[in-house]
Amino acid sequence: MFQDNPLLVKLKKKLHSKMPRIEGIIKSSERGFGFLEIDFQKSYFIPPKNMKKVMHGDRIRAILKTEQNREIIEPEKLIDPFLKTFVGKIHKTSNQLFILPDFPLINNLIKCTNKSDLSHNFKHGDWAIAKLTKHKLEGHQFFFAELIDFIVTEKNHLYPWLVTLSANNLKKESPILLNHEEIIFDDSISRHDLTNLDFITIDSLETKDIDDAIFIEQNHYFFTVYVAIADPSSYISQNSRLDNIAKERGFTNYLPGFTIPMLPNELSEDICSLLPNVRRPVVVCRFNVLLDGRILDDSIVFFMGWIQSKSKLVYDNVSNWLDKKIGWEPELKSIRNQIILLHKLYQIRFFWRKNNALIFRDRPEYKFYFSKDNLISNIIIEPRRIAHRMIEEAMIAANVCAAKFLSKHLGYGIYNIHKGFADIINAEHAVALLSKFKINFTVKDIMTLDGFCKMHRELNILSNSYLDARIRKFQSFGEINIYPDCHYSLGFEKYATWTSPIRKYSDIINHRLLKSIILKQPSIKIHHDVLININDKKRKYRIVKRSVEDWLYILYFNQKNKKINQYDAEIIDIYKSGIRARLLENGANVFIPATFLHFLKEELFLDKENGLVYIKNDIAYKLTDIIQVNLIDIKKSTRNIIAKPKSCSTLELNN
């Protein structure tokens, strides 16, 4: 009787309307409850019954209530769903289809059906793209999705790559050349014939898309360096179908065991590739390097040319020969001479950069090996050997030349920019940290290119990995811009890449600009949306590579039954909830929950800001420490590897 009383209903509505409303983002937990995050510091508890109405990541408006002296959240209105178009795995029971979204904290099996024009017969374990069409918080009884595309079956061993690429809306296949009439070589350009010179290329054994070749001469005063770069822009006209494909893709996408080229294979691996003993059109940069390593700016010349590479050399062979290991040797005296000259050039340029620009310590690189049926078989450290460094040094020098040439003649191009400490607050934090280690710089010092370089050269001498890692956290990220500016992390006033036009659309743009100067033709304009796409694709490819690697590590450890093995690991980040570390043997990232660091929560403090872990007020762990860990859980659903330290020891900050 009372529940039907109009006055009581009206009173309830009035009280309900006066309850405080707040807006935030849902954060789920593995135990059913969740939180509504208002900002980085404030959040409210959501009990399991209320979590059934929402999903992790949803932005909602909610009512703030108090139950049993505790503030809780009751979801009221959906503002922006986290799930829109997503990838997931099909679960099939009887004739009913469900899809489980591929997100770590979303465990909702969502009812689904095929889109009207999608005829694929989905099976249990298939991967699909779906679109969320019904949400419980919008008044529906259940969540519902529409399957809009099939990705791959569970039995196809390529699913880690194909699912990850689909999730990021990236291409999964090579571009197709419709017919050879799409490739029209511009033979109207006058080119210098350099086919008599002993150009060489050095790449990995399996490399087919060869885009750089080098020839060097030396006299008593300087080296004369010719860097010849493949010329795809002479085969691909601006705004053609192939050009638009390359523009949209932005880069060749290199993933472990799986490469998606920017250009059709016919171009990247044959027509444009600087294959040995084949005449190829190129853009050439010639410059002189003094014996102390300085590039003579007045000597920098760009021109069009023809070359014929005399040998396709392999990094490991060249490195072994220079290291005097028995085995491969150059076939010809002329090739031997080019390797020796390139090695000399590397030594003087490396020495010059070390003292006048910046040289950073190499980070370990890891190579993934696969069986014929695409199963992960091994992961090992691949050291960057002397031949890699020689080619890298020559390409860096050529890119510095291009940046100077474009700036002098045009004032714009595609430049790689790094602003160091772009934020004055971060610079202040860096200066304060440096002072604790008796390294004295002012904010004004380190916000200049010269001061930034001097600071890092001192850090390199000190060789304190903890301090180096902490300083890097204050630095800005690199970016690409149209106008020249400093590249602090390389130590150059300007830097523009042009040496990989087969693999990078930004380098094709710079080729067209260089050619407009060489041929005295009107230069092209760079549209802002092209710049946005290049930056976006660069970020996406980095994310996808890391995601695929995470998946492959899970499959690798499951196959090899590595859970009982002990590993050395480097601490790469510290959070309130635990430690992130990297296994030195194979590069896998592992997470060590705080509960595994010390058994008494009140005696444990994880200081994210300073990269330190305290136990009983003593420093137990710090950023970059090498610790021994055991793997205790391989979570395939979230692609997380959980580890536990072998022991806990107190370490001094200044070690």
Active site residues: 203, 209, 211-212, 315, 503
User: What is the full DSSP assignment across 82-110?
Assistant: S-SEEEEEEEEETTEEEEEES-TT----E
Count CB neighbours of 230 within 10 A.
Answer: 30
Q: Are 653 and 466 in contact (CB under 8 A)?
A: yes
Residues 437, 434: Cα–Cα separation, whole Å: 5
Q: Which residues contact 584 (CB under 8 A, 6 or more apart)?
A: 364, 567, 568, 569, 570, 626
Token pair in block for residue 464 = 């304190």
Do residues 63 and 77 lie in contact, with contact meaning Cβ atoms separated by under 8 Å? no
Do 52 and 136 touch, CB atoms closer than 8 A? yes
Contacts 24+ apart (CB under 8 A), 176-183: 176/264, 177/242, 177/264, 177/266, 177/267, 178/241, 180/266, 182/240, 182/241, 182/242, 183/235, 183/236, 183/242, 183/266, 183/267, 183/271
d(CA 550, CA 553) in angstroms, rounded, equals 5
User: What residues contact residue 196 under an 8 Å CB cut-off, 6+ apart?
Assistant: none
- Distance CA(56)–CA(23), nearest Å, equals 14
CA 44/CA 25 separation, integer angstroms: 10
Q: Which two tokens stand for residue 515?
A: 């050619």
Residue with tokens 């139950």: 67
Residue type, 360: F
Q: What angle do CA 488, 435, 652 make, to 5 degrees?
A: 105
Rg (CA), the chain: 29
268/291 Cα distance (integer angstroms) = 36
Is-contact 295 393, C-beta < 8 A?
A: no
End-to-end Cα separation, the chain, in angstroms: 76
